């Protein structure tokens, strides 16, 4: 029960930082889960982010569910998921009644503009960290560039890019293995 409570509290702390949505939580998730708690490795968290992106729902919630399930099975997944969404539920419920009354105030508008900029920086930091861990050689750089180009110039689902990247990774490893 102690570990279930720890999962809930840890992910509730992460859930408090929901400004900007699931992507803004990624650097916080990485720091808390990999660096502080050591519940996952850098490689595992990147895998969770990738799977979380191509499954229904918010990437941060999906990642919390995966980590909770890894730690304590189905109950762990439930506690981690409840932890990450609970603060949002409370905050949104509290704000819903008053946001309309304050949204027209210029100071509030400027505060939200500043928060949006901060969220962009947090997302860029997460991307740079993930890039350094994921793009480790010419093969992974080629996959990266193909996905960047494909996602920029097509409207394909992220699921397609994840599947194509997985096939490319397997194929490039097989080709590389035969050359050795």
- Judge whether 8 and 65 are in contact, CB under 8 Å: no
Q: Write down the pLDDT at residue 141.
A: 92
Which of 32-41, 94-103, 114-123 has the lowest average pLDDT?
94-103
Tokens of 130: 């993930």
3-state secondary structure 51-92: HHHCCCCCHHHHHHHHHHHHHHHHHHHHHHHHHHHHHHHHHH
Is the pLDDT at 19 greater than 60, yes or no? yes
Confidence category of residue 105, pLDDT binned at 50, 70, 90: confident
Mean pLDDT of 146-161: 91
Please report, rounded to a whole number, the percentage of residues in the chain having pLDDT higher than 90.
Answer: 27
Q: Is 26 helix (H, G, I), strand (E, B) or coil?
A: helix
């Amino acid at each position: 029960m102690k570990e279930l409570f720890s999962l809930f509290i840890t992910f509730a702390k992460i859930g408090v930082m929901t400004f900007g949505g699931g992507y803004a939580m990624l650097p916080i998730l990485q720091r808390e889960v990999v660096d502080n708690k050591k519940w996952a490795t850098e490689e595992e968290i990147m895998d969770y982010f990738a799977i979380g992106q191509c499954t229904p729902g918010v990437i941060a919630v999906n990642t919390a569910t995966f980590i909770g399930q890894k730690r304590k099975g189905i109950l762990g997944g439930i506690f981690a998921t409840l932890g990450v969404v609970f603060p949002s539920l409370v905050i949104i419920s509290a704000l819903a009644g008053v946001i309309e009354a304050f949204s027209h105030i210029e100071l509030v508008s400027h505060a939200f503009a500043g928060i949006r900029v901060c969220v962009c920086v947090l997302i860029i930091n997460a991307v740079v960290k993930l890039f350094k861990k994921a793009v480790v050689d010419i093969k992974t750089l080629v996959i990266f560039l193909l996905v960047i180009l494909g996602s920029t110039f097509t409207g394909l689902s992220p699921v397609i890019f994840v599947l194509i990247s997985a096939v490319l990774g397997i194929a490039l490893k097989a080709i590389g293995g035969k050359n050795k």
